[in-house]
Structure 1
């Protein structure tokens, strides 16, 4: 059962009588979230590593390029001050929060952050903030409040059980005062900086009752987009619009290593579509900050097939994610606890990812969640090649991808006859083999043959 404070209930009543102007305008043009996010692409911003300066202002200079890339949601990794007690490395983990309502001075000031958000909004980009609700730094002020954190038998504040996160203190969600303070901290950034939502770190470690209660309170302020770093259907009961496609990502890595084949991806997606509610948006990716730093770059994990797997992540289902530097061919594991600036060079894959985003936005068959078409898989006679079509209201996309580093024979359906959107090649049943990591994508809009 949801727990709603008297204050929250009163605010909900007030909000229903006097809707903010920005929400009135949004209601006129969309149905709010998740519908508003139906054709969006998300981009993860690592402020520390994005530029030599590692500041909001320096990152803001990249906004025109990101606008050209076509991304819609900027997920900003945690920006709060980082704990010093039990710190890992020289600069510490972004996810060790010392003060929920302050800005890490290494990144700039609160005004700098607010200006960055304003500039993003001018370019019709949403800004969501990474939120660490499960734990704080060991020198967060809440560690001095009895009952706010979990403790061992001797009364010492502990790190999260079953992890090696020795730099963070595990919060106690049995304490309602702590929950109330956490909700107020979430409301702070919406009111103060006008952010548009949250990406919630290890969301499954935190009780769903809290998330649902927090969402009820946040709805008073603004219609927010909520992303859970978790891969369970329960996250979509109320609080979250999008969840991580961790399972599909791990399968992709295993296919790339030759441990699974493309048929396993088909089976996984079919089961995933059955497990999750129709309005759930699933986030798919070939990399993110965790994968890059701890498991390797896309070149380490996918080799020469990194583009083929990106095409799959963009077209199979759900909302695709691009991580900082991915469009520049980031080929190093960025240090997690130190300064390690991304080398941008000529941003050599900018056009590739821009073309994928353009394809997604211009064909409703590729829209996110229930707003796009579900993949209908096609048997082309080879377990290392995946092929599928997606259709929505007369719009159609056909995709065939060789997910291996070998030439593969294929039997393309007689009904397939399209021009590849990337290279213009004509794709039909006359094609009987695909080169290593070769892919073709056909796109047809309603009313156009």
Structure 2
């Protein structure tokens, strides 16, 4: 009786081991942290912090992140992305007003703290991505008055026309002094600086800020320099633009992944308000597949530190933010691409425009949304089809839609009812042939036992819900058998361990 279970678990372990050998960035799930607003792990570096001032430091630091790595891992995240950690000018809590590219901001800790964070993350098989700014410095940087640095900046000018690429690359964004990467000395300094942080801390990737404001020729040299130092080093570019063709052009410069603003626009539009059609989400994937060399490595997000939070968007439309966020998170973790979760989204944190979207992180003792986020994120890790599978629209009617993901014979269906009414779906798909039912993979979702007959299944979807479903054979082993077999295997393992101990004595 136990033989089938032993064979099953053995084959599963072999499959997982084989997959781990091939693991790459499309298998990761990123947790995005604003260092100053996450967790205060060392009060000795609080200095002039003022939690009442939204534009001041609030006390979050590197040690605080290290202390919360287990929390992040339990949330289903396999990588962290930190806002810039370099020394910043006064009130540069966010990290984007660089004062010194080679020093750690004193409010955040020391380079030893950074090394320890990376070491502890790697122990947990988690990767670390640092945010890097090479487009500009802070407003009062010493280079501005250094005669030896003449030519390190572009002439001061505003950006009036964002369709003029020369203005975009040479203008002073928000008045910040714009670095001249065409200058040989400036270029070398920035490239050496990027390699320095890799050598010193053993980080795994950079999120590149303001990519479109820097010439492609520089990014080409940049990508070659960091890849020479660490061949599997990851580059996630921020090209804030609505046109995927414009964004994809930067992949020719060696940036393999981008934060997906076009998808963000569609996700927030579709899921923040009930009744919205969802077909445009499929169109975004079709465009991504066409334009990008690595569409499975695009960075998908619902929230970040530059846009109002998803919860606020739902509230502004008089919607139930919990229902809307569950739908959106399901899409975030089941669609192709790398999910990026901004700190606090798992607690349904509210927030308007900057700095209201940058409140200090809250850690409630119990939170249903945190539990759901953890479940759906871990499901993505357990199901290779949700990380590597193809992506096809198999049903669409109004605000109801079903996607299918398939990888090496594993099939998962993701169904959405984005309306406030119950919906019945008759799903016809040739891949259903030979199966007897569709079973829900989300334990917190409404129970679904969809009978399958001749390649057709009928789903009854409650209002504003999503389902992640796996087809099962009609003769599938019942739950009691799995429990019995699992218990038996546990007994055998325990007995073997005890026997080994006795023989060792």
**For the superposition of Structure 1 and Structure 2, which TM-score range results when normalised by the shorter chain?**
0.7 to 0.9
3-state SS of 2:109 partner: coil
**CA deviation after TM superposition for structure 1 residue 237, in Å:** 2.6
Decide whether the 8 Å contact of 1:363 with 1:396 is kept in 2: no
3-state SS of 2:236 partner: strand
Q: What is residue 163 of structure 2 aligned with on the other side? A: none
In 1, distance between residues paired with 2:117 and 2:297? Answer: 27
Q: What is residue 442 of structure 1 aligned with on the other side? A: 469
Q: Which has the higher contact order (CA 8 A, sep 6+)?
A: 1
Instruction: Choose which of 350, 354, 361 in structure 2 pairs with 1:331.
Output: 350
Instruction: Choose which of 422, 434, 440 in structure 1 pairs with 2:442.
Output: 422
Instruction: Choose which of 203, 207, 213 in structure 2 pairs with 1:195.
Output: 203
In 2, distance between residues paired with 1:42 and 1:117? Answer: 15
Q: What is residue 496 of structure 2 aligned with on the other side? A: none
RMSD across aligned positions (CA): 3.1
Q: Are residues 1:228 and 2:237 paired?
A: yes
**CA deviation after TM superposition for structure 1 residue 280, in Å:** 5.3
**CA deviation after TM superposition for structure 1 residue 47, in Å:** 1.3
**CA deviation after TM superposition for structure 1 residue 374, in Å:** 1.9
Q: Are residues 1:151 and 2:141 paired?
A: no
Give the 3 Å change call, closer, same or farther, for CA 280–339 of structure 1 in structure 2. closer
In 2, distance between residues paired with 1:422 and 1:237? Answer: 39
Q: What is residue 47 of structure 2 aligned with on the other side? A: none
**CA deviation after TM superposition for structure 1 residue 332, in Å:** 3.3
Aligned residue runs from structure 1 range 42-441, under 5 A? 42-52=30-40, 53-84=59-90, 90-91=91-92, 93-143=94-144, 144=146, 145-152=149-156, 165-166=174-175, 168-223=176-231, 224-230=233-239, 232-237=247-252, 239-255=254-270, 256-257=272-273, 261-278=277-294, 281-292=297-308, 296=312, 303=321, 304-333=323-352, 336=355, 340-346=359-365, 348=367, 349-367=369-387, 372-380=388-396, 382-413=397-428, 415=432, 417-423=437-443, 424-428=447-451, 431=458, 433-441=460-468
Give the 3 Å change call, closer, same or farther, for CA 62–333 of structure 1 in structure 2. farther
Decide whether the 8 Å contact of 1:56 with 1:112 is kept in 2: yes
In 2, distance between residues paired with 1:373 and 1:39? Answer: 11
In 2, distance between residues paired with 1:271 and 1:279? Answer: 9
Give the 3 Å change call, closer, same or farther, for CA 430–44 of structure 1 in structure 2. same
In 2, distance between residues paired with 1:152 and 1:387? Answer: 51
3-state SS of 1:133 partner: coil
Decide whether the 8 Å contact of 1:133 with 1:201 is kept in 2: yes
In 1, distance between residues paired with 2:439 and 2:357? Answer: 47
**CA deviation after TM superposition for structure 1 residue 336, in Å:** 3.3
In 2, distance between residues paired with 1:445 and 1:211? Answer: 48
In 1, distance between residues paired with 2:67 and 2:410? Answer: 37
Give the 3 Å change call, closer, same or farther, for CA 112–278 of structure 1 in structure 2. closer
User: Structure 2, unaligned stretches of length 5 or more?
Assistant: 1-19, 41-58, 158-166, 477-505
In 2, distance between residues paired with 1:196 and 1:236? Answer: 19
The structure having more radius of gyration, on CA atoms, is 2
Q: Are residues 1:37 and 2:19 paired?
A: no
In 1, distance between residues paired with 2:448 and 2:109? Answer: 49
Decide whether the 8 Å contact of 1:135 with 1:170 is kept in 2: yes
**CA deviation after TM superposition for structure 1 residue 127, in Å:** 0.7
In 2, distance between residues paired with 1:92 and 1:58? Answer: 15
Question: TM-score if structure 1 supplies the norm length?
Answer: 0.81
Decide whether the 8 Å contact of 1:229 with 1:244 is kept in 2: yes
Give the 3 Å change call, closer, same or farther, for CA 445–190 of structure 1 in structure 2. farther
Give the 3 Å change call, closer, same or farther, for CA 438–50 of structure 1 in structure 2. same
**Paired residues, number:** 403
3-state SS of 2:351 partner: coil
Decide whether the 8 Å contact of 1:388 with 1:400 is kept in 2: yes
User: Structure 1, unaligned stretches of length 5 or more?
Assistant: 1-28, 85-89
Decide whether the 8 Å contact of 1:328 with 1:347 is kept in 2: no
In 1, distance between residues paired with 2:83 and 2:100? Answer: 15
Question: TM-score if structure 2 supplies the norm length?
Answer: 0.72
Decide whether the 8 Å contact of 1:91 with 1:339 is kept in 2: no
In 1, distance between residues paired with 2:292 and 2:472? Answer: 28
Decide whether the 8 Å contact of 1:76 with 1:128 is kept in 2: yes
Q: Name whichever structure is richer in helix by fraction.
A: 2
In 1, distance between residues paired with 2:211 and 2:380? Answer: 28
Give the 3 Å change call, closer, same or farther, for CA 64–39 of structure 1 in structure 2. same
Decide whether the 8 Å contact of 1:82 with 1:94 is kept in 2: yes
